[in-house]
Amino acid sequence: MPDRRRRDAAPDPATLALACAVDEIVEAALVRTAEEIEREAFDGTVRQVTGPVVDVGFRGELPALGNLLRAEDRVRGLPLEAVELLGEGGGSYEQPTLPGKGGG
């Protein structure tokens, strides 16, 4: 038998309560994720650029291999991927190769 409820009828209170609970859970998860990303942020300094390789120095812990860094200036940012860690607060990073742009 077809559902005869009107489509524009207000949802029942249980459905509204569930929707509100889901919204709160999602918002809390987004806040936790943003806080985690901020804690894991690495602040480095570009030391040298040789072709596609950028030598970046860090004062503390080095980012893991495969991490994506962004070298920023006032106009735009340049994505860099950690490909080799050199120790003593430094590492080599390359601009990732995009499909159709040579390589990858």
Percent of the chain at pLDDT exceeding 90: 7
DSSP for 19-46, written as a single string: HHHHHHHHHHHHHHHHHHHHHT---EEE
Select the more confidently predicted residue: 79 or 98: 79
Q: What are the residue boundaries of the structural domains of the chain, listed by start?
A: 9-41, 43-94
Would the pTM of this model clear 0.75, i.e. be above it? no
DSSP state of 67: -
* DSSP class of 12: P
Angstrom distance (rounded) from CA 53 to CA 94: 5
Both structure tokens of 60: 């503390």
Give 13 or 102, the one with higher predicted confidence: 13
Average pLDDT taken over every residue of the chain: 74
- Does residue 104 register a pLDDT over 50? no
The CATH architecture to which 43-94 belongs is Beta Barrel (2.40)
- What's the rounded Cα separation, in Å, for the pair 32 and 55? 32
